Structure 1
Amino acid sequence: MLKRFLKDESGQGMVEYALIIALIAVAVIAAITLLSDGISGKFNQVSNTLKK
């Protein structure tokens, strides 16, 4: 019974997908954090241009 339990890999794929999704989420959050000032500046620039 223990050998069969240790060889069972039915949940392995789901865990791998969850880890990949978590890694992608961390990368996206880091990118948004790094780019937020530049994006905010561009929106302010566009807003000021439209007000004129």
Structure 2
Amino acid sequence: MTGALIDFIVEESGQGLVEYAFILMLVALAVVTGLTFLGNSVQNAYQEAADSF
């Protein structure tokens, strides 16, 4: 197991690792942005429901 990890780290194809990091960064940014907008909508819906009581 550690041999495979060392081979992965030592391997020359660092470009793939950088590409995966960029993809992960973009996905994380999309999730944070989506939750920010969706969070406000959900909060407003709960507030309207609470105000109706």
The answer to whether TM tops 0.5 is: yes
TM range (shorter): 0.5 to 0.7
Identity across matched positions, percent:
41
Q: Give the match for residue 36 of structure 1.
A: 39
Larger Rg: 1
Q: TM-score, normalised by structure 2?
A: 0.57
RMSD between aligned residues: 2.3
State the 1:41 CA deviation: 3.3
Q: Tell me how many residue pairs correspond in the alignment.
A: 41
